[in-house]
Amino acid sequence: VDTIAQLQLVLGPEGVRAPGEISERYLGDWFMRAEPGVRPAALTLPRSTEDVSAILKICHAEGNPVVPQGGLTGLAGGGVPIHNCILVSLERMRAIVEIDPVAATMTVEAGIPLQAVQEAAAAAGLLFPLDIGGRGSCQIGGNISTNAGGNRVLRFGMMRDLILGIEAVLADGTIVTSLNKMLKNNAAYDVKQLFIGSEGTLGVVTRAVLRLFPNPTSLCTALCAVADFDQVYDLLGRARAELGGTLSAFEVMWPAFYRRAIAGRRKVPLGPDFGAYVLIESMGSDQMRDSDRFNEFVERAGEHGVLADAVIARSLSEGLALWSIRDASGDLVKELAPVANFDVSVETGRTGAFAQECGDRLRARFAGAAAICFGHLADSNLHIFVTAAVRPFPEREIDEIVYGCVRDWGGSISAEHGIGLVKKPYLSYSRSPAEIAVMKALKAALDPRGILNPGKVFD
Amino acid sequence: VDTIAQLQLVLGPEGVRAPGEISERYLGDWFMRAEPGVRPAALTLPRSTEDVSAILKICHAEGNPVVPQGGLTGLAGGGVPIHNCILVSLERMRAIVEIDPVAATMTVEAGIPLQAVQEAAAAAGLLFPLDIGGRGSCQIGGNISTNAGGNRVLRFGMMRDLILGIEAVLADGTIVTSLNKMLKNNAAYDVKQLFIGSEGTLGVVTRAVLRLFPNPTSLCTALCAVADFDQVYDLLGRARAELGGTLSAFEVMWPAFYRRAIAGRRKVPLGPDFGAYVLIESMGSDQMRDSDRFNEFVERAGEHGVLADAVIARSLSEGLALWSIRDASGDLVKELAPVANFDVSVETGRTGAFAQECGDRLRARFAGAAAICFGHLADSNLHIFVTAAVRPFPEREIDEIVYGCVRDWGGSISAEHGIGLVKKPYLSYSRSPAEIAVMKALKAALDPRGILNPGKVFD
């Protein structure tokens, strides 16, 4: 109660909500909700970096746990409340501080939704390339904290690659302002890296400098069918070499995915019996020349026997129709329920064999189990939907089999969603004891009282 | 003596050199040499990560300072010995562990020279894009420790962007192996970031996974003259938008630089009286289309009044001739001696005004001083040669004026060379007390006895 009174003194009555006034939406993310007994002690709604600093100073003095929240679209439970925590929602800190068209940067407060950033960049004739399904609700601070990936990683990188500067508040309320706008800055350690992908456990991000890019003006799309994974890798090498810096997507669909994705469609671009399907996209700055080059690339791959079949989109709408097959994943996961849904990484050249092995292990345990695979192959990122006829649905056992397979293949249990609460039991499958010891040393150095998002990522 | 005996026991007699047997070359880098009285206690030449771990365990137990050394081509004194230190040279660890053409990665030991990596990538039909003047001698471990920049940052990023995995040995000998080959890996904190750009103060890098790229097959070069810096920024915006992902260099030369660079040449591409000169280069994968697009970009800039004059290279040798003007910097710095040589960053859109102000301040203090500027403008990286007629040459005072100007403009005292010993007095000009406190907390967490490269970067 004393903590709450102190917070109200600093933030005013409208900046602090008591437990009874906290709406349901703050109690979970897109993947999970807090356990029924869990109640936050308060929700705080800071309006400035100084507010965040004041909140953390109070909580640090009291040893009160703090859970930072962005748009709550996470898929690993990183923003889900723990009992008696002070929630810090950045939703009122949503200003665009500056757009600098020469430096090609945008400086924003952390609570701004991703889509608002995309739109402001577009209005300035530029592109902020990060794009994920939660764009309307997710916030830049959350994108930083989870090192968000999404649809354009192959071309523009993950969130880490799109950040030039960060301001964050440490556990004890210290404000660390590194709002760098320069591409090159080797003045000692790059402190901002600590706050990217650490899921709010090392600091609360309050502002950031984002990199902007020229808007691509050309778009080419093709759907290719190949006989097997050796041809997938061959095609990838050709696409990288021949499309150069314009290659923007190389999405692979396994036959089990493709067949389900086209089920019930009247018009289907390619037959259902090939070994794998690859959606290839390029983005450039010269539609005529880029189209010619793209078409030649597809033709050449055909002449060299790498393709079994292919369709090139002749218009934007034909391109969207091809993408709609890949994007059927959203509906598919609902149709397949109950289903276990994975976001893992394995070395690009071993993806085909990994998927095979993973499916074999699942079927060996559960007759009739299916592993339905698709993914950003060039990014080494594989998504897997697993179904099984057993009831109750053996989610935990399926997790163990899939993550066990990831461990045995030296992959990552999280390509882009993070660890949060959901994947915490499996962290040691992808990280060695020495790596985890370094993480814990960083946590102890920056948050010695352990108040920042405790229980997330690791214990 | 006891430490030396222990080291010999582990490394064998050929793995440890006593002070009398250490050649001169280990006593300095390209910028500075150790003070005359400074003598290392021993030079160690490990052959494996286990050797490095054993060396550090021994030194950690004894509290003996350790200075890691790469190719000793640094420009900030980061690898220069301190008194009684154990030098750890990685030069015998130079193996290529693996080239994976599908993942487009190369795994190497840290002591391999950069040029050997470039050549091995080329032999595999791929490109490792990092390129700096020290390529024949500098080592990958040193490139990682200094977050090397160089000639292709605009297109491919700095060393940080080219590293997927790192193995490093901590101060206490713990081996942290994160030889990740995947583009996406969000399994908790990205521990490898700690070892990039920390100049050997947080760990000794022993192996790394490097990203490879397709070899560009097209090259276009132009030298442009413009009236003033507003036109430089306008031209940059056009180059980014119209050349898209192929823009690979945007080098600006101030008139004072250009005039000196062309002095004594018979054939000069552009007259000496323009406001600024810009060397623009694109690298792509389709020479004919890329050339057409590049020429149209230059023509369009001319039609819109952005260019005062321009020359497009019609052959590779014409392109090299244009580059030779920019590359005259190497000879120029020798001709100008005594000269103070700076590698700083300022926000791209303020570069012109910064250079003006910096020159004004220098001339206000030293009549006849000259600030001769050129740089990777799109990377926000400016190089400055400062001359003054005063003798003895007032280097320290010039440093104070230039770095003071950098501080006042919110720039960085080191764009790419690092801090080492040389820039340590000025670190607070570019980093806040809070930032430096976080750096020191990291140092204390990972190297509590302070044995790793003590006295470098900060005290």
Q: Residue B170, CB half-sphere, CA atoms under 13 Å: how many?
A: 22
Say if CB A74 and CB A29 are below 8 A apart.
Answer: yes
Three-state SS for A274-312 is CCEEEEEEEEECCHHHHHHHHHHHHHHHHHCCCCCEEEE
Within 8 A by CB and 6+ apart from A193, the residues are: A160, B190, B193, B194
With b meaning 16 or more CB within 10 Å and e meaning fewer, what string describes A103-134?
Answer: bbbbbbbbbbbbebbbebbeebebbbbbbbeb
Average pLDDT for A57-80: 97
The answer to whether residue B151 scores a pLDDT higher than 90 is no
Q: Using CB atoms, which residue from B101, B187, B419 is nearest to A187?
A: B419
Determine whether the interchain pair B186/A430 forms a contact, defined as Cβ–Cβ distance below 8 Å. no
Contacts of A445 in chain B (CB under 8 A): 441-442, 444-445
Determine whether the interchain pair B193/A193 forms a contact, defined as Cβ–Cβ distance below 8 Å. yes
Give the angle subtended at the CA of A329 by the CAs of A324 and A332, to the nearest 5°. Answer: 115
Say if CB A181 and CB B409 are below 8 A apart.
Answer: no
Q: Which of residues 244-273 of B touch A (CB under 8 A)?
A: 244-246
Q: Which of residues 28-87 of A touch B (CB under 8 A)?
A: none
Cα A451 to Cα A67: distance, rounded to the nearest angstrom: 9
**pLDDT for B41-57, tens place per residue?**
999 999 999 999 999 99
Label residue B108 exposed, middle or buried (CB < 10 Å: 0-12, 13-18, 19+). Answer: buried
Tokens 């594989």 belong to which residue?
A382
Average pLDDT for A72-77: 96
Which pair of tokens denotes residue A300?
Answer: 């050449």
Residue B98 DSSP class: E
Q: With bands split at pLDDT 50, 70 and 90, how would you rate the model's confidence at B4?
A: very high
Q: Using CB atoms, which residue from A100, A216, A381 is nearest to B349?
A: A100
First to last CA, chain A: 27
Residue A413 DSSP class: S
Q: Which of residues 129-148 of A touch B (CB under 8 A)?
A: 146-147
By residue count, chain A amounts to 459
Within 8 A by CB and 6+ apart from A324, the residues are: none
Residue B119 CA: distances (Å) to CA of B20, B114, B139: 36, 9, 14
Helix (H) or strand (E) holding B253: strand B247-253
Cα A365 to Cα A20: distance, rounded to the nearest angstrom: 46
The answer to whether residue B244 scores a pLDDT higher than 90 is no
**pLDDT for B309-328, tens place per residue?**
999 999 999 999 999 999 99
Residue B357 CA: distances (Å) to CA of B110, B232, B246, B253: 42, 18, 33, 17
**pLDDT for B169-205, tens place per residue?**
999 999 999 999 999 999 999 999 999 999 999 999 9
Q: Residue A163, CB half-sphere, CA atoms under 13 Å: how many?
A: 31
User: Of B185, B131, B119, B190, whose CA–CA distance to B157 is shortest?
Assistant: B131
Say if CB A377 and CB A370 are below 8 A apart.
Answer: no
pLDDT for position A216 = 93
Give the angle subtended at the CA of B427 by the CAs of B421 and B430, to the nearest 5°. Answer: 145
Label residue A232 exposed, middle or buried (CB < 10 Å: 0-12, 13-18, 19+). Answer: buried
Q: What is the percentage of chain B residues whose pLDDT exceeds 70?
A: 100
Which pair of tokens denotes residue B412?
Answer: 């960085």
pLDDT for position A151 = 81
List the helix and strand counts (H, then E) for chain B: 14, 18
Determine whether the interchain pair B240/A215 forms a contact, defined as Cβ–Cβ distance below 8 Å. no
Cα A22 to Cα A17: distance, rounded to the nearest angstrom: 6
Say if CB B110 and CB B140 are below 8 A apart.
Answer: yes
Contacts of B346 in chain A (CB under 8 A): 182
Determine whether the interchain pair A197/B189 forms a contact, defined as Cβ–Cβ distance below 8 Å. yes
DSSP 3-state assignment of A453?
coil
Determine whether the interchain pair A244/B214 forms a contact, defined as Cβ–Cβ distance below 8 Å. yes
**pLDDT for B128-148, tens place per residue?**
999 999 999 999 999 999 999
Average pLDDT for A372-384: 96
The answer to whether residue A41 scores a pLDDT higher than 70 is yes
**Angle between the B229-243 and B351-365 helix axes, to the nearest 10 degrees?**
150
Q: Using CB atoms, which residue from A293, A416, A442 is nearest to B286?
A: A293
Say if CB A41 and CB A4 are below 8 A apart.
Answer: yes
Average pLDDT for A14-34: 95
pLDDT for position B338 = 96
**Torsion, Cα of B150, B70, B201, B64 (10° steps):** -160
**pLDDT for A292-327, tens place per residue?**
999 999 999 999 999 999 999 999 999 999 999 999
**pLDDT for B262-310, tens place per residue?**
999 999 999 999 999 999 999 998 999 999 999 999 999 999 999 999 9
Which pair of tokens denotes residue B320?
Answer: 């090299």
pLDDT for position B241 = 94
**pLDDT for A132-175, tens place per residue?**
999 999 999 999 999 999 888 999 999 999 999 999 999 999 99
Say if CB B128 and CB B148 are below 8 A apart.
Answer: no
Full-prediction pTM beyond 0.90? yes
Average pLDDT for A210-238: 96
Say if CB A187 and CB A419 are below 8 A apart.
Answer: no
pLDDT for position B245 = 84
The answer to whether residue A2 scores a pLDDT higher than 60 is yes
Q: Which amino acid is at B118?
A: Q
Residue A421 DSSP class: T
Within 8 A by CB and 6+ apart from B334, the residues are: none
Q: With bands split at pLDDT 50, 70 and 90, how would you rate the model's confidence at A1?
A: low
Contacts of B122 in chain A (CB under 8 A): none
pLDDT for position B2 = 87
**pLDDT for B79-131, tens place per residue?**
999 999 999 999 999 999 999 999 999 999 999 999 999 999 999 999 999 99
Q: What is the percentage of chain A residues whose pLDDT exceeds 70?
A: 100
Cα A122 to Cα B423: distance, rounded to the nearest angstrom: 40
The answer to whether residue A220 scores a pLDDT higher than 60 is yes
Residue A196 CA: distances (Å) to CA of A137, A144, A166, A360: 19, 5, 9, 36
Tokens 């915490």 belong to which residue?
A424
pLDDT for position B420 = 98
Tokens 């600030």 belong to which residue?
B371
User: Of A144, A102, A362, A141, whose CA–CA distance to B238 is shortest?
Assistant: A102
Q: Using CB atoms, which residue from B103, B241, B412 is nearest to A348?
A: B103
Cα A32 to Cα A415: distance, rounded to the nearest angstrom: 19
Cα A71 to Cα A35: distance, rounded to the nearest angstrom: 20
Give the angle subtended at the CA of A285 by the CAs of A279 and A291, to the nearest 5°. Answer: 50
The answer to whether residue B11 scores a pLDDT higher than 60 is yes
Q: Using CB atoms, which residue from A100, A189, A379 is nearest to B183?
A: A379
Shortest distance between the Cα of B406 and any Cα of chain A, in A, equals 12
**pLDDT for A439-457, tens place per residue?**
999 999 999 999 999 999 9
Shortest distance between the Cα of A21 and any Cα of chain B, in A, equals 33
Mean pLDDT, chain A, rounded, equals 96
Strand B42-44 and strand B86-89: the pairing is parallel
pLDDT for position B1 = 57
**Angle between the B395-408 and B351-365 helix axes, to the nearest 10 degrees?**
140
Cα A415 to Cα A92: distance, rounded to the nearest angstrom: 30
Shortest distance between the Cα of A159 and any Cα of chain B, in A, equals 11
pLDDT for position A9 = 96
Phi and psi of B276, rounded to 5°? -165, 155
Cα B168 to Cα B166: distance, rounded to the nearest angstrom: 6
